[in-house]
Amino acid sequence: MAVKVLNPGLSTTVQDLGRPGYFHLGIPIGGAMDRLALRAANLLVGNDEGAAGLEAVFVGPHLEFTRDALIAVTGADMPIKLDGEEKPSWTALKVRAGQVLSFGFLQTGARIYIAIAGGIDVPLALGSRSTYPIGALGGFKGRAIAKDDKLPVGNAAGSKEGRSIPEALRRRPGMPAELRVLPGLYWHRVTEETHRNFFDDQWKVAPEADRMGYRFRGGRPLQFVERDQPFGAGSDPSNIVDSCYPYGSIQVPGGTEPIILHRDAVSGGGYFMIGTVVSADMDLIGQLQPNTPTRFVKVDMDGALKARADRAALLDRIRSVFA
């Protein structure tokens, strides 16, 4: 069974829940930017939550199915069409052989997730089917899908159409988006005034926002605590001796535009970091469009762990829909 790509969209990649274990060699975890949305899509079609699906950013693909299939589309709000007829999102949909799945214009959010019963069956690369294009690794031939590709699909476990995830269980960023941040890492490198400004200011998503990182602008420039730069760090006050970068860490090159590293993060480099977005809010970043107003909300470790527990509880409620 295969799915034929009639139009790939802007950048559509095969993603699962990622490949942990190789960040020390510069190979990032990757996987769905919005993991909750991918898990939900997979549950809807009876897959393992970590099965590989398609992640499409801003523009949906056109796909022709060569056999009957069960699919679900979650994530961003984007009209879903089967042979031109609109269908509901966050719902298991029956597709007949020969039908074409396509999409209307993006409304809110940034990324849709398309799960197909059986999962996208590309070969595992270092334990994952996620696409890492910089390393030409994983996914469909190590790259985003292209016109006329034929995507292999695994054997479906058998699930039924029509099931849906209630509106209340679909997590979306607010307006403005709020991202919870645990200060740390090189927080001591900026002044107390900057400590306040960073959380007081309203930022917005810059056009440079992708799977590697999201850039923000609009807040006041950061002020650094003066020091003689350490040996090997470079001359700019925002430079450090090249270190590891955590996922979600916020670096601010030159003290002007914060960049949050995401699933395809570079593993290290020479820019100081002011703190880290909590793991629970990484999914939300994946749904931010350029120009989205964004606030950073300061939390301590207890707050970060509470956010994590809340997200886990939400996932449990989604799972209970299928129990």
Per-residue interface string for the shown chain with other proteins, residues 129-158, x marking contact by CB under 8 A: ---x-xxxx----x----------------
Least spacing, CB of residue 310 vs other proteins, in Å: 12
Q: Which two tokens stand for residue 207?
A: 């056009």
33 neighbors 17 (Cβ within 8 angstroms): no
CA–CA separation, 235 and 108 (whole Å) = 42
Q: Which two tokens stand for residue 51?
A: 């099965």
Residue 166 to residues 47, 309, 318, 322, Cα–Cα distance (Å): 19, 20, 9, 12
Among 14, 110, 185, 315, binds other proteins (CB under 8 A): 185
Q: Assess 231 for contact with other proteins (CB under 8 A).
A: yes
Instruction: Select from 109-117, 169-177, 194-202, 234-242 the region that touches other proteins (CB under 8 A).
Output: 234-242
Query: Considering only CA atoms, which of 55, 78, 29, 68 is closest in space to residue 261?
Result: 29
Q: Assess 33 for contact with other proteins (CB under 8 A).
A: no
Q: Per CB under 8 A, which of residues 66..105 are in contact with other proteins?
A: none
Sign (positive/negative) of CA torsion 202, 205, 207, 208?
positive
Least spacing, CB of residue 281 vs other proteins, in Å: 9
Query: Considering only CA atoms, which of 216, 225, 227 is closest in space to residue 187?
Result: 225
28 neighbors 130 (Cβ within 8 angstroms): no
DSSP 3-state of 244: strand
Least spacing, CB of residue 93 vs other proteins, in Å: 33
100 neighbors 80 (Cβ within 8 angstroms): no
Query: Considering only CA atoms, which of 3, 29, 43, 4 is closest in space to residue 246?
Result: 29
Instruction: Select from 60-68, 146-154, 178-186, 290-298 the region that touches other proteins (CB under 8 A).
Output: 178-186
Per-residue interface string for the shown chain with other proteins, residues 239-258, x marking contact by CB under 8 A: -xxxxx-xxxx---------
Q: Residues touching other proteins: how many (CB under 8 A)?
A: 53
Q: Per CB under 8 A, which of residues 260..279 are in contact with other proteins?
A: 266-270, 273, 275-279
Q: Per CB under 8 A, which of residues 278..317 are in contact with other proteins?
A: 278-280, 301, 304-305, 307-308, 312
Give the residues lining the site for other proteins (CB under 8 A): 20-27, 125-126, 132, 134-137, 142, 182, 184-185, 187, 230-235, 240-244, 246-249, 266-270, 273, 275-280, 301, 304-305, 307-308, 312
